Chain A
């Protein structure tokens, strides 16, 4: 039987998702449901003096209106930061309370203040307009770099500083800097991005007054984790009385990790009003209140020798958390950022210092790559600049500093188990015709255009898991993953996973893994996820962890099934276990070639009793009936995908337009389960990263209004912004899991922003420019060029 792992199997879920047969939260309706609409703060920062709901309560169709007073009285907990980060001086991070409905003060535009439940959505929205909130408007703190100088947003949090965190050794770095031939410096802004999942957030809550169970249908990347948080921290209901279902979810990119205000409020309120509740975000609400990504201001320096060896690295970053610290908000700019900031290089000394600040803007949390794109952008801009200033070829300087032996003890935290950074860069050079660039540059110049080339080599720590590690770094929970594999009596297999698919293709890839392990056809394997009532517990999907952690739990559960199957087969075939070989779904006695299929074994496990010997069970003594196994997998290490990307851009100096002419990505994801799905992930990641580099501009005005809160003003990248992506792969197996797999979901978004920006800056003759490199910025930079590349002026 040919292996399914490694095959380009078409996605099983596509029939459903591409023909409009998906079932999303907004598709769910429950008899007698009410509709929720939220009263939201129109101000970035204000004291709430009084809320008058009297007029709104009398409006047509209104069932109930609830405010922060009621939710506080019922002792419902607020939103939480999932990671506790300590400052360099040892002090604990400062985290403000984040009630589901703001009671005393509002701290960003869009923060929920009150909620209206009505018989129809129109009536709910009309009543929202009648709720009168008396605000005392205060001066907001908006700008990341200036946040520490602003008025104190949260009482008791001086300088709006959550923590002042250090990773690394300042002294060793300073000593190395003193010996350097040259210091390369960059000042960078990693621009804030709005995640823009295609499906806006939504929730439908059904409270059963008899069983007292709440069922919450919601747009979550991690339903089990959401239930845990809502129960343990929200106090909404005990876990056994709270079922969380995340059905088809249309994209997350990190923005659907958090349990949000609306889910807590509607779950709590459904019990209170004893009616089902439906809430679906409008696109404006998504822009204003989904957690945003990135938003760093960084000064970084690299100490180098004249022959291009890296000696030391320092990184001083201010990270904007927005108004509140959320689930991955505090770890994204620290442990997901700092350790990776030295990149794929051997750098003897390094430190990263991050000051995380509160501002009156939407909370910032994990966004595809979470910390690692910011880290990669920092080091790869520095390395490219070093190459330019030292006059060394940009690929050569990288090669000189790559580690060549694995495991590679990276400067700050990680021990990278496997990789071959030279191989991927060599392959990328060859695939992109790196040597031929100067000819293409001259050709562009002849047409009055400026052409640039950019390289980025990256690695990332993903498959966020090892519980012992993450808990030692401040994570509130262990990040293992689980699976239950059920063989049905008639031979089909149900695979339950705690991971969640919201675009990743788990229905297909996880089925490939299980089908291979069990030796059955893909058509008899179903993958089930997204429901806390189905299968075991799970931590969900983010940080490119589903396959490297959740996928392995499936492998291990399947292997337990095979082990039991072997015991049963041995009994049935009247041989000892070691005489049996399991291959391609058959338990075969090596000597006699007698065999039982795994389907026959499953049947026997459920229906003990045999026609051959009437009252004799086929199960060995003491063996339980049934064929169901569960496995929890907690890996020994993160997984470390890596690679090199090379891009070429062409700039029209008269219009400032940047055209991505060529894009080559060579990635090492270890063993690849499904190349089709992986290529799709890489395409999406690159597109998202190019979006950040060239298009996506999240702009708050000085009063804290988000002025890019619609698709009329916020530029999403589109298909016609891209060339055909040229993808290649190298392969070194991960040693931390039995499949040898690494994560692939975030790599594109990690590597592409520096690749593109390095190319743009190369085209501009080294002139620095901030992301997004929009037409006007580029046009201005072109004007500043004295005689750009001779003829192009």
Chain B
């Protein structure tokens, strides 16, 4: 690993000021540290935001669950409040990586990195999440731009993610057997007027599958999506799974998610 300057700003303002074109914010470091160790990423300045208290914590109101950016996956997974309000979100957090990753990795880090096979982006999309930064509020649909690419600007820091509590929801994952990232992850959320089926792992960036969402909005049943065949041409294809396999898995897990609701 190349040497770098390590900063521990006390507040968000100071953290934002330190940011430059050769800096990175560090939360759990579950992606950035390995990338740096492998020489895939080098930074002059590492700005550790873990110590900014305001960024961490879980709040549940009547309609929303707000999770601070540096809240760890394990905290979300074990939170009684989250388990009660959106059990599938707690389940998703409890299935990320392994115990070590869950005790360090954070929701803010996960969505800022926007790995195409990360779990959290699908929850943000399905649960119509609003991402609060130090400058603005961004709808999930406008946040995830492309592979490892988000709407965040230089110096912009995620403060919290606000999830809308659905009537019913479920998360199903076909884990990559090696990394346990999602080969395909299906987050299904049912609200009064709509059903959102958000998919991670299948394409270069998380998306809401319109066909599945529409069919389930019309009739919330396994049979409503049973015959659906997805176009595999835009699906990721790699040594772990072909596009065809992913396309099939999306429907399979969507059905499982409906069954589990």
A residues lining the B interface (CB < 8 Å): 122, 126, 284, 654-656, 695, 697, 699, 707-708, 711-716, 774-776, 779-780
- Nearest neighbor of B248 in chain A, beta-carbon distance: A779
Chain B 149-183: CB-based contact to A (< 8 A → 1; otherwise 0): 00000000000000000000000001011110100
Report if B242 contacts A (CB, 8 A): yes
Q: B239 touching A695 by the CB < 8 A rule?
A: no
User: 4 more A-B contacts (CB under 8 A) besides A699-B239, A713-B179, A776-B242?
Assistant: A655-B253, A695-B177, A716-B178, A776-B241
Q: What are 7 pairs between A and B in contact, CB < 8 Å?
A: A122-B2, A656-B245, A707-B239, A712-B181, A774-B240, A779-B245, A779-B248
Within the complex, which residue of B179, B242, B252 is in contact with A655, where a contact is CB–CB below 8 Å?
A: B252
Within the complex, which residue of A284, A656, A713, A780 is in contact with B178, where a contact is CB–CB below 8 Å?
A: A713
Chain B 222-261: CB-based contact to A (< 8 A → 1; otherwise 0): 0000000000000000011110010011001100000000
Q: B178 touching A712 by the CB < 8 A rule?
A: yes
Q: B242 touching A774 by the CB < 8 A rule?
A: no
Report if B3 contacts A (CB, 8 A): yes
Q: B245 touching A714 by the CB < 8 A rule?
A: no
Please name all residues of chain B whose beta carbon is closer than 8 Å to the beta carbon of A655 when the two chains form the complex. 174, 249, 252-253
Please name all residues of chain B whose beta carbon is closer than 8 Å to the beta carbon of A774 when the two chains form the complex. 177, 240
- B8-30 at interface with A (beta carbon < 8 Å): none
Please name all residues of chain B whose beta carbon is closer than 8 Å to the beta carbon of A654 when the two chains form the complex. 248, 252
Tell me the bound Cα distance from A774 to B1 in angstroms: 34
Q: A776 touching B177 by the CB < 8 A rule?
A: no
Tell me the bound Cα distance from A384 to B176 in angstroms: 31
Tell me the bound Cα distance from A697 to B3 in angstroms: 35
Nearest first, the 8 closest Cβ-Cβ pairs linking A and B are A715-B178, A715-B177, A712-B179, A654-B252, A776-B245, A713-B178, A776-B241, A699-B239
Q: How many chain B residues have a CB neighbour from A under 8 Å?
A: 19
Tell me the bound Cα distance from A702 to B2 in angstroms: 32
Please name all residues of chain A whose beta carbon is closer than 8 Å to the beta carbon of B252 when the two chains form the complex. 654-655
Please name all residues of chain B whose beta carbon is closer than 8 Å to the beta carbon of A713 when the two chains form the complex. 178-179, 239-240
Q: B239 touching A697 by the CB < 8 A rule?
A: yes
> Binding site of A, secondary structure by majority: helix, strand, loop or mixed?
loop
Q: A708 touching B239 by the CB < 8 A rule?
A: yes
Please name all residues of chain A whose beta carbon is closer than 8 Å to the beta carbon of B3 when the two chains form the complex. 122
Within the complex, which residue of A707, A714, A775 is in contact with B174, where a contact is CB–CB below 8 Å?
A: A775
Tell me the bound Cα distance from A699 to B239 in angstroms: 9
Please name all residues of chain A whose beta carbon is closer than 8 Å to the beta carbon of B178 when the two chains form the complex. 711-716
- Nearest neighbor of B255 in chain A, beta-carbon distance: A654
Tell me the bound Cα distance from A512 to B58 in angstroms: 56
Please name all residues of chain A whose beta carbon is closer than 8 Å to the beta carbon of B245 when the two chains form the complex. 656, 775-776, 779-780
Residue picked from A284, A697, A699, A775, most chain B C-beta under 10 Å = A775
Q: How far is the CB of B111 from chain A (nearest CB, A)?
A: 20
Tell me the bound Cα distance from A281 to B3 in angstroms: 20
Please name all residues of chain B whose beta carbon is closer than 8 Å to the beta carbon of A712 when the two chains form the complex. 176, 178-179, 181
Tell me the bound Cα distance from A712 to B239 in angstroms: 12
Tell me the bound Cα distance from A776 to B249 in angstroms: 10
Q: How far is the CB of A309 from chain B (nearest CB, A)?
A: 41
Q: B177 touching A775 by the CB < 8 A rule?
A: yes
- Nearest neighbor of A713 in chain B, beta-carbon distance: B178
Tell me the bound Cα distance from A775 to B176 in angstroms: 10
Please name all residues of chain A whose beta carbon is closer than 8 Å to the beta carbon of B239 when the two chains form the complex. 697, 699, 707-708, 713
Please name all residues of chain B whose beta carbon is closer than 8 Å to the beta carbon of A656 when the two chains form the complex. 245
Tell me the bound Cα distance from A153 to B1 in angstroms: 36
Q: How far is the CB of A569 from chain B (nearest CB, A)?
A: 58
- Nearest neighbor of A708 in chain B, beta-carbon distance: B239
Q: How far is the CB of B225 from chain A (nearest CB, A)?
A: 13
Q: How far is the CB of B161 from chain A (nearest CB, A)?
A: 26
Q: How far is the CB of A699 from chain B (nearest CB, A)?
A: 6
Please name all residues of chain A whose beta carbon is closer than 8 Å to the beta carbon of B241 when the two chains form the complex. 775-776
Tell me the bound Cα distance from A708 to B179 in angstroms: 12
Please name all residues of chain A whose beta carbon is closer than 8 Å to the beta carbon of B174 when the two chains form the complex. 655, 775
Please name all residues of chain B whose beta carbon is closer than 8 Å to the beta carbon of A716 when the two chains form the complex. 178
Please name all residues of chain A whose beta carbon is closer than 8 Å to the beta carbon of B179 when the two chains form the complex. 711-713
Please name all residues of chain B whose beta carbon is closer than 8 Å to the beta carbon of A708 when the two chains form the complex. 239
Tell me the bound Cα distance from A776 to B247 in angstroms: 12
Residue picked from B38, B174, B177, B239, most chain A C-beta under 10 Å = B177
- B29-73 at interface with A (beta carbon < 8 Å): 38
Tell me the bound Cα distance from A776 to B3 in angstroms: 42
- Nearest neighbor of B177 in chain A, beta-carbon distance: A715
Please name all residues of chain B whose beta carbon is closer than 8 Å to the beta carbon of A711 when the two chains form the complex. 178-179
Please name all residues of chain B whose beta carbon is closer than 8 Å to the beta carbon of A780 when the two chains form the complex. 245
- Nearest neighbor of A657 in chain B, beta-carbon distance: B174
Residue picked from B3, B38, B242, B245, most chain A C-beta under 10 Å = B245
Q: How far is the CB of B110 from chain A (nearest CB, A)?
A: 16
Tell me the bound Cα distance from A284 to B38 in angstroms: 9
Q: How far is the CB of A782 from chain B (nearest CB, A)?
A: 11
Chain B 88-121: CB-based contact to A (< 8 A → 1; otherwise 0): 0000000000000000000000000000000000
Please name all residues of chain A whose beta carbon is closer than 8 Å to the beta carbon of B253 when the two chains form the complex. 655
Tell me the bound Cα distance from A711 to B245 in angstroms: 22
Q: How far is the CB of B250 from chain A (nearest CB, A)?
A: 11
